[in-house]
Structure 1
Amino acid sequence: MQNALRRPLSPNLAELEPFVRRGKDRTFDNLGFSGGGWNGAGDDYETTGLLIACGGSSEWVGNSCVYTLPSKGPSLERILSASALAALIRRTADAWEPEWGVAISEQHRDVLKPRRPKGTPYVGWVTYLAQHRGTLPPLPSPVRIEPVADKGTLIILTPERFTVSNPEHVALAERVRELLDRAGLLKPLHAQP
């Protein structure tokens, strides 16, 4: 990985700015910056990571902020709740003002990937959509909607743990996806080649 740094970074501008600048693509200006980090946990299942690609304007490479959460153990149990994931997406949306964001398992993403139009937002357990994408339609129960300042909206499908093994969860996610798509909220960010 570019930007390999084997020491802790403090969350302050003086340390983060040089780290991010080292992630600038020197060949193509429109690709922006990239970097990442992890929590240094000794056990793989306790590892939490972050990959960021930002400041790009290419239709070929997107801007993204991807969190990798622990796969099992006490850390997973603490964070794998609707309220914790909503807080993570809310803080990310408030700081970065993305077009969309989602808290989704790899299993759910893999189920959706083959039929998802390229470049369109995923709809997962917790989904964020920027306000300028449009007005949310009425959504079925138990879906909860929460504003993120004046920037957008969180859509929380269910207060209980979302699992792909629960057909009701998958059906609810698909129903919400259909409603959002019909309302024009799931358009791609860029025209796809």
Structure 2
Amino acid sequence: MGDTYYAGGYWGPREEPPEACAQRFASFLKGLAVTDSSFTQWYETAKSPKASLSRPLRPDLDELTRFVRKNKDPVFDELGFSLGGWNGAPTAQDDGGFLIRCGSYDSRTINRCVFSLPERGANADRVLNASVLSNTLRVTAAAWDPDWGVAMSHGHRDMVEAQRVPKSPYVGWVTYLALHRGPVPALPAPVRIEPVADKGTLIILTPERFTVGNPEHVALAERVRELLGQAGLLEPLQAQPQASG
């Protein structure tokens, strides 16, 4: 089996009411719908696929506000809301989903929006490329205002985990850094740098699929990590003020 991949955006403690999280969620769903055909329809996660398919997630503010409210942490207010979505794919290899924690203001908890991505098949062939993953992180950044984000393989994550400071950004196939972290320095070819409106910057290591079996890919990622670290862009997450959606 080849590499498997995930994508996610992460931000520090940020207290937000359910209405604000629902507004962000609606923007998120609308953005995903134009990113890839397998991202056009989502369903609430449930105990069975049949139950999930009866609960579609639509970018309707009233519906999403109710959805967010019912997924509030039942014990601790400071842990915010935990939301899940599934794309309803008929086969496991085409599965896609996301898990979101938003509105948490507990210093021990990381707010996040994390995608599980298809492993193989038609959906994977389309989604696992630099363009779609960049657009996925772009949509995540626009909706959730994360501090940083990454699309990378699980194998690459495991390879670099030991050298990473807890709660600090990973540097993967595609990396997102919020503007407040500072300007991105010049990076070696074939790395591409793209702005994300007034939110941050995408750093795309290579247009071809990044694999841990390619030593040139791994070496490039390490060199970029060193340069970003020297520029002070890889500091751990900090608490963030409440922001507008």
- 1:180 partnered with 2:225: no
SS in 2 for 1:155: strand
Deviations 1:115-140 (A, max 9, x none): 21111000111100000011111111
Distance 2:60 2:219 in 1: 43
Tell me how far 1:108 sits from its aligned partner: 1.0
- Note if contact 1:3-1:19 (Cα within 8 Å) is conserved in structure 2: no
Match of 1:96 in 2: 144
- Structure 2 gaps, min length 5: 1-43, 240-245
SS state at 1:85 partner: helix
Number of equivalent positions: 190
Among candidates 119, 122, 129, match of residue 177 of structure 2: 129
3-state secondary structure, aligned to 1:154:
strand
Question: Which 5+ residue runs of structure 1 have no aligned equivalent?
Answer: none
State how far apart, in whole Å, the 1-side matches of 2:135 and 2:154 are: 20
The residue type paired with residue 234 of structure 2 is L
Deviation per CA, 1:134-174: give whole Å up to 9, x if none.
11111111100000001100000011111111000011111
Identity %: 62
* Structure 2 residue 102 is the aligned partner of structure 1 residue 57: no
Amino acid in the other structure paired with 1:114:
A
Q: Is the 8 A contact 1:126 1:157 kept in 2?
A: yes
Highest RCO, 1 vs 2 (Cα 8 Å, sep ≥ 6): 2
Does the 8 Å contact 2:45/2:86 carry over to 1? no
Residue of structure 1 equivalent to 2:117? 69
How far 1:60 moved relative to its partner?
Answer: 1.3
> Pairwise CA RMSD of aligned residues?
1.6
CA distance in 1, matches of 2:160, 2:105: 26
Distance 2:177 2:143 in 1: 14
CA drift of 1:40 comes to: 1.8
